[in-house]
Chains A and B, each alone.
Chain A
Amino acid sequence: MDHIYESYDIAVIGAGHAGCEAALASARLGLETIVFIVSTDSIAMMPCNPNVGGTSKGHLVREVDALGGEMGKNIDRTFIQSKMLNVSKGPAVHSLRAQADKQEYSRSMRHVLENTEHLTIRQAEVTDILTENGHVTGVRTYSGGVYPCKAAVICTGTYLNARCVYGDTYNYTGPNGLPAANHLTECLKNLGIEIYRFKTGTPARIDKRTIDFSKMEEQFGDPELVPFSFENTAESIAKPQVSCWLTYTNERTHEIIRQNIDRSPLYSGNIKGTGPRYCPSIEDKVMKFPEKTRHQVFIEPEGNYTNEMYISGMSSSLPEDVQVQMYRTVAGLENAKIVRPAYAIEYDCLNPAQLKPSLEIKNISGLFSAGQMNGSSGYEEAAAQGIMAGINAARFVKGLEPVILSRSQAYIGVLIDDLCTKETHEPYRMMTSRAEYRLILRQDNADLRLSAIGHEIGLISDERYEKVLQKKKQIEDEIVRLKSHMIGGRADVQAFLEERQSAPLKTAVSLAELIVRPELGYDAVKDLDPDRQPLSRDVIEQVETELKYEGYIERQTRQIEVFKKTENRRIPEDIDYDAVPSLRIEARQKLKAIRPENIGRASRISGVSPADISVLLIYLSK
């Protein structure tokens, strides 16, 4: 029997990484929010890899933080090892990654949720989205509880009709044996939403006591810590770090896989969901790259208070007996005991082409969706969508325009634009190569790029924003000063340069010109710069980057100007594509399905050619 509960502004379905950010954003914006979860013990659970960040994902976490999200702060509280990746490369691809204590991460996020004003947590499975005339009016739970609400955010991750598989073992559960959500899909289909079936996988967890670490290379964290959150400092997050370990598969491992490949559900056809190419199972790697004689395997702790170790690089859906043999061929794992076997998981998600860039579902007013439900993968991708969906659901209820980040503003913009514009046929993962303006969208300047937006939305405090403005001013002033401070070819200057094997001066140059010399740098020219005022490390880094890569940065800035022009050419929401003459059939179909808001997005739809865009422009100028 249905029974009406208290009503809310916003209902968030799921409290994984997307759901937590969505619920926190909406509650922090003052809206009465309820978040549903199948088990309150699984709030912000990390069912796969025990880390946050990494290449391009670190950018997302920083951006979430700059907008006022929680992920950065939560990992800063609960990390057990931290590393900046790609430091030998350019600043655009530096990426922060931290190993998490999984349980601590979950517990800490739960603590934040439980203590956020306007936020209610409810353990229940949502089975129905209630609508009237295409508007969300509430949600219904499995036990018949009806919760009236003005907007809802679906963040169901991998739980919809989930099925875990290894070998011929099928468990109709979500990750870690948690109950699957077996009813909501049907309701969504009835609402006219197209559903995809995706899959992903996870490796085994092995008992630490059965691993011989002497046969592995120890992987340390960075001695100098960099926090994810712009509110933290290296000092404020300081703690002892734990190590990870590196080992390799070998020909014997591969032999076992090849011999048993017919027992893999991926190869026998028992898994029909589409899997991600970027984190292939070990059997995929062995079959697709037969020339490789070994693959790296990282052994990563799952936390400080567990002996479970995550076997990164060896996800699998082979039968349990094959898994045991296979893992035991790896150096250091000869006597390994598996705590949890590896498995693949299939789940329902929606075709993200049905989303507006605000993450609202096109034909159902007030229904938003975020995270793996939208065909993405990864905790960070989920959190990034979660905060945007939460913000926009809140703005929907308040009657405000949605906040849409563009590809030139943030990785979040690239992520959401790719999801709703390009057809996704596999779980989508962020990559720096997907961001065409990555030199501008650095992880180190996410606060400078996005704090103003976070502040305007209402998730960044005046105090924090004031600090960002100050930082911005310091950077700009210092750049101007360095560019105008001229240095002549005095004897002491020439001697200074000679000592550092830097070409002597023929004419006077600015300090900036000396700083950009590869063999010099901001710190190196200190002695030539007596007027220098003490500045923070962050500010100096920004100054150095802006100067060193000025030419490239200018080039991308110009490209962004061109890009913005097409983004600003709006397409009316009610355009009738059938009335546009001369569009090719494929383009017409795609445009009708995706209904892009502007010409720029239309031009990124595969199957829409430049000629189609011209035709569209002509039609629009009528």
Chain B
Amino acid sequence: MRNKDTICAIATGVTNAGISIIRISGENAFSIADKLYVSKKPGKTLSSQKSHTMHYGYIVKNGETIDEVLVSIMKKPNSYTAEDVVEINCHGGVIVTRQVLDAVISAGARLAEPGEFTKRAFLNGRIDLSQAEAVIDIINAENTSAVKNSVGQLTGRLKNRIVSLRDRIMHDTAFIEAALDDPEHISLDGFSEELLKNTNEELKEIKSLIQSFSTGRVIKEGIKTVIVGKPNVGKSTLLNALSGTERAIVTDIPGTTRDTLEETVTIDGVTLRIVDTAGIRDTDDTVEKIGVDKALSETDSADLVLFVCDASRALDENDRRIIDIIKDKRSLVLLNKSDLQNVLSSDELEKETGISVFAVSALEETGIHEFTQKIKDMFSLGEIGNGEMTYITNARQRQLLSDAADSLEEVKKSIENEMPEDFFSIDMLDAYGALGRIIGEETDDDLADRIFKDFCMGK
């Protein structure tokens, strides 16, 4: 039972809404929030504020400002859960919300299970019985849909890797325990070196899994996209066209660096994090070259480059410079159809650039489906499901993987410090448990069963 620790979650659901709220509830809600909250007024802490008040400030992690926020605080028992509650209102958008949530987790809160706030509210007597049935349904979901969902997120191959990791960890643990139990038949001489080797391999694998999860997440949470093109070729029109479709959701959120702004556009389930360089917005004053340079400097870290051309203008040397640079990157050309006379055709442009060209029309909203389909193909996204659920389970899985990695690091430390072998199994079992929770498997009695199965006990 984990009813006493401090939990957090995105209370508004992970959508690209204008504002999203991260709720923290539990004994340490204030102290956790205070680790991250910075007010304009030096030294101001949330813990010292009155209940039911709101505070302006920033969420800062490792000296870096993540977001400008409004924080509301509610002291127990006068909150939804009847515990101390802090709600951070941030600017919305998947990325910033995720970063704030990550910061809250690394400050000591645990990601809430689905329905956990409601569960606490009920257990603490905040919700009356008429709502109990609904709560029970939510809680039942913990075991079935939540786990099924998180398991569903794992491809067969990933799941197999976790199963294999657990199997190896359990085998080694069972060996240690068998030897502790039956020291006259089973010797641990020299096993430390073997275990260190195995642990290193397991760590490497877990870390690569963590890596693969974050890659997957980046794709699901948005493809960092840079639009290049000369001013006045219709970048804004294009953006507006993309955003203007019924299926698109647009949010402005500050980028992590000061001079860029990211705009997140989700079309047909594909999220583009469009890096809005200064050049994109400037349509009048800036010299063309500066705008292009700025955009090009962003392409290095981009997942996708969109090169926008205006069909009514022929290619010039600036365009060719761009083509040169983006040739080897994942890129697409968008030919913005003008209502005026077209001098540039798709075929011609495709020949010139060697890149797929999509003709889109802002007014008629044509070509957008083909364009997003192409992006899905490029990033092997296939059919994208419900993004919200993916997000939650992934954060949980990643957390569990890093818990497992932490435990194995402890095993290494114990081996290196020449601790007795019985200390190894404490952390090995923790790692085993964390990995088990990813795939929704219970751990009860595995160890004793495994000892008897794998090792010949004496007597």
Contacts and interface: CB of A to CB of B under 8 A. Distances in A.
Given A85-B183, A518-B417, A618-B136, A285 B1 contact: no
Nearest to B456: A289
A622 B444 contact: no
A85 B123 CA distance: 48
Contacts of A86: 180, 183
B133 A581 contact: yes
A617 B188 CA distance: 44
B136 A296 contact: no
A611 B183 contact: no
A324 B64 CA distance: 79
A278 B183 contact: no
Most buried by B among A86, A606, A613, A614: A614
A44 to B, nearest CB: 21
B139 interface: yes
B98 interface: no
Contacts of A432: 177, 180-181, 422
A247 to B, nearest CB: 13
B459 interface: yes
A58 to B, nearest CB: 12
Given A315-B459, A606-B444, A89 B180 contact: yes
A433 B1 contact: no
A563 B180 CA distance: 25
Given A292-B456, A298-B184, A433-B425, A611 B447 contact: no
A50 B243 CA distance: 83
A312 B459 contact: yes
A93 B180 contact: yes
Contact of B140 (A49, A55, A552, A582): A582
Given A433-B425, A433-B448, A613-B1, A55 B182 contact: yes
B142 A611 contact: yes
Interface string B434-459: 00000000001101100110001111
Given A609-B143, A611-B143, A278 B180 contact: no
A581 B459 CA distance: 49
B129 interface: yes
Contacts of B4: 562, 565
B1 A599 contact: yes
A611 B137 CA distance: 10
B136 A433 contact: no
A434 B452 CA distance: 13
A90 B425 contact: no
A509 interface: no
Interface string A289-313: 1001001101000000000000011
B216 interface: no
B183 A55 contact: yes
B404 interface: no
Interface string A416-453: 00000010000000011110001100000000000000
Most buried by B among A92, A93, A313, A422: A93
Contacts of B122: 618, 621
B374 interface: no
Contacts of B1: 562, 565-566, 599, 603, 613, 617
Interface in B1-29: 1, 4
A296 B184 contact: yes
Contacts of B384: none
B153 to A, nearest CB: 20
A51 to B, nearest CB: 10
Contacts of B456: 280, 285, 288-289, 292, 295
B129 to A, nearest CB: 7
B457 A89 contact: no
Most buried by B among A90, A434, A549: A90
Nearest to B414: A552
Contacts of B444: 422, 604, 606
A49 B459 CA distance: 9
A615 interface: yes
A615 B136 contact: yes
A90 B452 contact: no
B235 interface: no
Contacts of A433: 177, 180-181, 425, 447-448, 451
Contacts of A606: 444-445
Interface in B137-157: 137, 139-140, 142-144
A552 B423 contact: yes
A611 B420 contact: no
Interface in A49-91: 49, 55-56, 85-86, 88-90
B426 interface: yes
B419 interface: yes
Given A86-B183, A431-B177, A433-B180, A622 B129 contact: yes
Contacts of B419: 90
A432 B177 CA distance: 8
A89 B421 contact: yes
Given A296-B184, A604-B444, A617-B123, 20 more contacts: A88-B420, A89-B180, A90-B419, A278-B459, A279-B457, A279-B458, A280-B456, A312-B458, A432-B422, A433-B448, A434-B448, A562-B1, A565-B4, A566-B1, A581-B133, A610-B143, A611-B142, A611-B143, A614-B119, A621-B125
Question: What 6 A-B pairs come out closest when comparing CB atoms?
Answer: A90-B420, A277-B452, A611-B143, A279-B459, A433-B177, A90-B422
13 contacts: A89-B421, A90-B422, A278-B181, A279-B457, A288-B456, A292-B456, A296-B184, A296-B458, A433-B177, A434-B448, A518-B418, A614-B142, A615-B140
